[in-house]
Chain A
Amino acid sequence: MADRPARRALGGRRPSGALLGVVPFFAYVAVFLIIPTLVVVIGAFVGGKGGFTLSNLRALGQPAVTTALWHSVVLSAVTALAGAVIGALLAYAVSTGRPGGVLKKFITSLCGVLAQFGGVALAFAFLATFSATGYLTKVLTSAGLDSSGGLWLYEWDKGLMLVYLYFQIPLMLIVFLPAVEGLKPQWREATETLGGSTFLYWRKVAAPILMPSFIGGLLLLFTNAFSAYATAAALVSQGSPLLPLEIGGTFTSEVILGQENVGKAMALEMVVVVAVVMTAYVILDRRASRWLVR
């Protein structure tokens, strides 16, 4: 009983040497997450010649920055919502397949690959297909079906959304599949035995159970799109319509100089947006899990 205070300090858990095994993880988090975050937060308040300043934060009010933020939020929200809905429906379709069947194995492993197929490779695939000199554009133009010349691909609200959906939908399928597979057939049978319709089953049983996972997936998709850089950078090189591109510009511009700390202020702005989304998720999740014992 002598070690009781020590146990309490460790959250009442049975202490063991296992904690040592987590040390590399903490070190990793410190080096790759905590320190960069501190650099961003401190840098956002440092002026071009050193010293504390709020001018970097004031620069966030420039129309170019506010527009980029708005574009980023809209792009992330739309692709997250569309990706979540389509991905969830696909996940349900896959879950109805024969367990351990070839089709199911094929689709889940395919989605595992596609969900990570972002960046320059994805941008190139779309360029080769849809850009002005892309294969499909050429075929459609010669058939007289397309007169846009493929320029829509470089627009943030057309081309970028389509490209982002390409990795958003498979990601949703992967994260949502375990949840739909967790639906027990007995629950449906119980509903039917008690005289409930299919609609009633979905509304009163399945939807509440799936909701936290769905919202979790939605959030993941939002942050995934919000922070994506390489795909957009490879595709769009003019006008920096998104916040991550705008931040990149402040570090490499050879025309407008001394903007590095404004870039850090923009990064801080992104951290704040993600924090708001996370808070909203926590609140929603608490409501959703009220009638769930997990």
Chain B
Amino acid sequence: MRARTPYTPWCVTLAVATTLVVGACSPPASTSGGGSTSGAGAASATSAKDLGGMDKLVAAAKKEGTLNVIALPPDWANYGAIIKAFGDKYGIKVNSAQPDASSADEISAAQRLKGQPGAPDVFDLGTSVASANTTMFAPYKVATFDSIPATLKDANGTWVNDYGGYMSVGYDSSKVPAPTSLADLLKPAYKGKVALNGDPTKAGAAFAGVQMASLANGGTAGDVTKGVDFFKQLKAAGNFLPVDPTPATIVSGQTPVVMDWDYLNAAQSSKVKTWKVFVPQNAVLGGYYVQAISKDAPHPAAARLWQEFLYSDDGQNLWLKGGARPVRFDAMKTAGTLDQTAAAALPQVSGTPTIPTQADSDKAKAYLAANWANAVG
């Protein structure tokens, strides 16, 4: 016993040091087999032509056999059906990770898992997260690239808008009267019933909700002072419900009025028959999400094939069936390939839609960061 004594502190140090080393090291980055052999060409391909045509791309993707997607909730813009359709059509297994993650989570997952076979292959991002991380994307032009409006894509295909919609008010017509304007929501009939999809300093949809309220009250998408004032009034009237609406809160009746993208609100109608969607006339705020391929995609060919699928007529119509407006909406309408039934089911919108610019968003963010918490906290 005695003889060992002087070494005891060393043992402690050694043990701690060992634990530190083990704890600090992440698992060794393994090189993905698919990426290094068949994918060598796919990883740098900027169109299907680079690989020798669509058939070669399909063959390369099938060889990889897997696609990793992240943050795609099945009830969001019909992603559940899209993932299934893609898997069935090409026989590729789609790993859908963290369906409820945020856009920021997608980027951090890609950085954290870089070089590992489980890293995300493709991203579906909010515009601000996308524009801050363009260096992580691989440019790629899908076959239908030319029919996408120039304002809704990067000229090199580094990022492309995928689907969009308008900010809307969803409400349970069996619980509240139908609103005819946003100002109606201040009335006593909506006491404790109006929810916003998230905190606007965190969630993109809620952020757009404040911009919509700003437009409705004579403000702009950049200067959201009037929008924040509206929510302040809503809170003062006791109408603002500080609960994050989810399909569960909507079905259970906890959130009878929800401000959210029209395609998300529309999706609730299938579960709650009395759920209606209303887009305020004087405050039509549009927004698109962004699709991009990860530069470090472990399955580069499958990632590119996924894009081809999403921007094909089939893929675009699947988004439309989910109530979202696909980016090739107008081109497909002209070509007659648009799903007419699904298009007719979209909520009625009148007036010119406002699509906020980057400058608008930056200005609005700065104001919200300083003022939102005090308005509703």
- Of A191-199, A204-212, A236-244, the one contacting chain B is A236-244
Residue in A17, A20, A237 whose Cβ sees the most chain B Cβ within 10 Å: A237
Q: Does B191 contact A (CB under 8 A)?
A: yes
Given the interface pairs A26-B15, A240-B199, the reply to whether A15 lies near B8 with Cβ below 8 Å is: yes
For the side of the interface on A, what is the size category? 35 or more
Choose among A35, A149, A154, A253 the residue that contacts B202 (Cβ–Cβ < 8 A).
Answer: A253
Q: How far is the CA of A241 from the CA of B242 in the complex (A)?
A: 12
A151 / chain B contacts, CB cutoff of 8 Å: 192, 238, 241-242
A3 / chain B contacts, CB cutoff of 8 Å: 2, 5
For the side of the interface on B, what is the size category? 35 or more
* Nearest A residue (CB) for B2: A3
Would you call B373 and A64 a contact (CB within 8 A)?
Answer: yes
Would you call B244 and A23 a contact (CB within 8 A)?
Answer: no
Would you call B199 and A133 a contact (CB within 8 A)?
Answer: no
B199 / chain A contacts, CB cutoff of 8 Å: 237-240, 249
Given the interface pairs A64-B370, A149-B191, A254-B104, the reply to whether A27 lies near B5 with Cβ below 8 Å is: no
Contact with B along A14-46 (1 / 0, CB 8 A): 011101101100110011000100000000000
- Of B27-35, B125-133, B276-284, the one contacting chain A is B125-133
B254 / chain A contacts, CB cutoff of 8 Å: 131-133
Q: Does A292 contact B (CB under 8 A)?
A: no
Choose among A23, A249, A251 the residue that contacts B15 (Cβ–Cβ < 8 A).
Answer: A23
Choose among B2, B202, B374 the residue that contacts A63 (Cβ–Cβ < 8 A).
Answer: B374
* Nearest B residue (CB) for A27: B19
Given the interface pairs A15-B5, A64-B373, A154-B242, the reply to whether A253 lies near B12 with Cβ below 8 Å is: no
B222 / chain A contacts, CB cutoff of 8 Å: none
Q: Does A161 contact B (CB under 8 A)?
A: no
Closest chain B CB from A61 CB (angstroms): 11
Would you call A27 and B15 a contact (CB within 8 A)?
Answer: yes
Q: How far is the CA of A150 from the CA of B241 in the complex (A)?
A: 10
Would you call B376 and A239 a contact (CB within 8 A)?
Answer: yes
Q: Does B304 contact A (CB under 8 A)?
A: no
B12 / chain A contacts, CB cutoff of 8 Å: 19-20, 22-23, 26
* Nearest A residue (CB) for B71: A254
Q: Does B89 contact A (CB under 8 A)?
A: no
Q: Does A186 contact B (CB under 8 A)?
A: no
Closest chain B CB from A44 CB (angstroms): 19
Interface positions, chain B 1-52, Cβ under 8 Å from A, are 1-2, 4-6, 8, 11-12, 15-16, 19-20, 23-24
Q: Does B203 contact A (CB under 8 A)?
A: yes
Q: Does B166 contact A (CB under 8 A)?
A: no
Would you call A154 and B243 a contact (CB within 8 A)?
Answer: yes
Contact with A along B348-377 (1 / 0, CB 8 A): 000000000000000001001110111111
Q: Does B164 contact A (CB under 8 A)?
A: no
Q: Does A96 contact B (CB under 8 A)?
A: no
Choose among B6, B23, B203, B370 the residue that contacts A35 (Cβ–Cβ < 8 A).
Answer: B23
Q: Does B102 contact A (CB under 8 A)?
A: yes
A249 / chain B contacts, CB cutoff of 8 Å: 199, 201-202
Would you call B243 and A237 a contact (CB within 8 A)?
Answer: yes
Closest chain B CB from A148 CB (angstroms): 7
Would you call B8 and A62 a contact (CB within 8 A)?
Answer: no
Q: Does B67 contact A (CB under 8 A)?
A: no
Q: How far is the CA of A35 from the CA of B12 in the complex (A)?
A: 17
Would you call A63 and B370 a contact (CB within 8 A)?
Answer: yes
Q: Does A283 contact B (CB under 8 A)?
A: no
Closest chain A CB from B290 CB (angstroms): 12
Would you call A237 and B244 a contact (CB within 8 A)?
Answer: yes
Given the interface pairs A149-B238, A239-B377, the reply to whether A132 lies near B15 with Cβ below 8 Å is: no
Would you call B244 and A156 a contact (CB within 8 A)?
Answer: no
Interface positions, chain A 123-155, Cβ under 8 Å from B, are 131-133, 148-151, 154
Interface positions, chain A 221-257, Cβ under 8 Å from B, are 236-241, 249, 251-257
B5 / chain A contacts, CB cutoff of 8 Å: 3, 6, 10, 15-16
Q: List 24 A-B contacts (CB under 8 A).
A: A15-B2, A15-B8, A31-B20, A62-B369, A63-B370, A63-B374, A64-B370, A67-B374, A151-B242, A154-B242, A236-B242, A237-B198, A237-B242, A237-B244, A238-B199, A240-B373, A240-B377, A249-B201, A253-B102, A254-B102, A255-B126, A255-B201, A255-B207, A257-B129
Give 4 closest A-B pairs by Cβ, nearest first: A149-B192, A239-B377, A238-B242, A27-B19
Besides the known contacts A237-B199, A238-B376, A255-B365, 17 further A-B residue pairs in the complex with CB atoms under 8 A apart:
A17-B8, A31-B19, A35-B24, A62-B370, A63-B370, A132-B192, A133-B253, A133-B254, A151-B241, A238-B242, A239-B373, A241-B373, A255-B128, A255-B200, A255-B207, A256-B368, A257-B132
